[in-house]
Amino acid sequence: MLLDHLLTGESGADPLDSVAAAWAAHRQITARCADSIDAAVLGGWAADRLGYAFVAGYQEALRALLPGLPSAALVALAATEAGGAHPAVIETVLRPRGEGWTVSGTKTFATLGTEADVLVVIASAGPGADGRNTVRTAMVDPRGPGVHAEPLPATPFAPEIPHAVLTFTDAPAVPLLGDGYADHLKPFRTLEDAHVLAATLGLLVRVARQSGWPPATVQRLLGAVAEVRGLGLGRPSGAPAVPAGPPDPVLAVAKSPAVHIALAGTLDLVDQLLAEIGSLWNSADPVVRERWERDRRLLNTAERVRALRTSAAWQAIARG
């Protein structure tokens, strides 16, 4: 059972020296997980730093979004362009060619873009009947023809996580069903927040136990894990890809205004807890503490988007 493991499992994490090593450790410890949130928690537990906990949460969020992804593959979402990631500014193009499809364009900031085995690309399929940009999602082989990855300089926090500019030139692609923005990119941001939070809490429970933090602190961290699990944003382990037809229950939850509000409340509670336990880091291993202090800004990079999402959720509730 997950909570039992967090309280009684071996609290040391093996040193990790690469994304590949972190992904291997993640896959080993999560082989029998019940769902993607549990896998994110355990992936964070197995990580020796926040950057690799993020990788665990990010990968599990993608699997919650797209359950048909290969289990062993490291996956990168390629959405952001020079103008952002809103449908109106997406210029990367998905078009039919012969009996297949191709993608052409540039993505300016793809997390894990140099490490991925699979790319999930958000692209324009041209204007719709209303004149607005129609957005689709496509799978692309990063090692296939027409794909070039240019590594970006390391970020000042979590520098272990690589990012890249991805350029596609008639790269072969496999389009996915659904609207690339409404059915994939928007729900992913919610799923990513929940799964990365779950992974962060897994890391923190292990550090708390390893560092001898008070039982009351471990108790509150464990309560936060239970709260994230209760949001219902995890994908059951081994779930098949969801075909067109009945609504996908996980994506329905990820689109729910009430769940957005509850997630915002959970994030607020964890922020308060992190502020209250700040002095306890003095008892942690100095290397672990220094990495946490360097990397914790990673948790706040999407604050503006979260605030807008929460505001929109409250407005939707008010409208009934």
Q: What count of other Cβ atoms lies within 10 Å of the Cβ of residue 110?
A: 24
pLDDT in tens, 67-103: 989 989 999 999 999 999 999 999 999 999 989 999 9
Q: How many CB atoms lie within 10 A of CB 216?
A: 8
Rounded distance between C-alpha atoms, residue 77 and residue 63, angstroms: 11
For the chain, what percent of residues have pLDDT higher than 90? 85
Residue 245: predicted pLDDT: 54
Q: What is the mean pLDDT of residues 231-237?
A: 92
Q: Which tens digits make up the pLDDT trace of 269-301? A: 999 999 999 999 999 999 999 999 999 999 998
Q: Do the Cβ atoms of 259 and 253 come closer than 8 Å? A: yes
Backbone angles phi, psi at 138, to 5 degrees: -140, 150
β-strand pairing of 118-127 with 75-78: parallel
d(CA 29, CA 45): 9
241 has pLDDT over 70: no
Q: What's the CATH fold of domain 75-175? A: Butyryl-CoA Dehydrogenase, subunit A; domain 2 (2.40.110)
Residue (of 24, 15, 8, 41) closest to 231 by Cα position: 41
Q: Stretch 176-185: mean pLDDT, rounded?
A: 93
Does 182 have pLDDT greater than 80? yes
- Quick check: 221 pLDDT over 80? yes
Q: What tens digit of pLDDT does each residue of 30-64 get?
A: 998 989 999 999 999 999 999 999 999 999 999 99
Q: Where are the alpha helices (DSSP H) in 81-185?
A: none
pLDDT over threshold 60, residue 259 = yes
| Confidence grade of residue 1 (pLDDT, cut at 50, 70, 90) | confident
Report the C-alpha gap between 136 and 179 in whole angstroms: 6
Measured CA to CA, the distance from residue 10 to residue 124 in angstroms comes to 48
Whether 242 has a pLDDT exceeding 90, the answer reads: no
pLDDT at 149: 98
Beta carbons within 10 angstroms of residue 305's beta carbon: 12
pLDDT at residue 15 tops 80: yes
Kindly list the distances between the CA atom of residue 212 and the CA atoms of 48, 205, 285, in Å, as whole numbers in the listed order.
Answer: 17, 11, 11
State pLDDT tens for residues 128-138: 888 889 999 99
State mean pLDDT over 165-187.
Answer: 95
Handedness of CA 259, 265, 271, 276 (dihedral sign): negative
| Ramachandran quadrant class, 113 (left: phi over 0; alpha: psi -120 to 50; beta: rest) | alpha
pLDDT at 146: 98
Contact 76, 116 (CB under 8 A): yes
- The larger pLDDT score, comparing residue 228 to residue 129, is at 228
Q: How far apart are CA 162 and CA 267, in angstroms?
A: 25
Q: How many CB atoms lie within 10 A of CB 161?
A: 21
Instruction: Write down the domain spans for the chain.
Output: 2-66+183-319, 75-175
Question: Please, what is the average pLDDT of the chain?
Answer: 94
Q: Do 210 and 49 form a contact (C-beta atoms < 8 A)? A: no
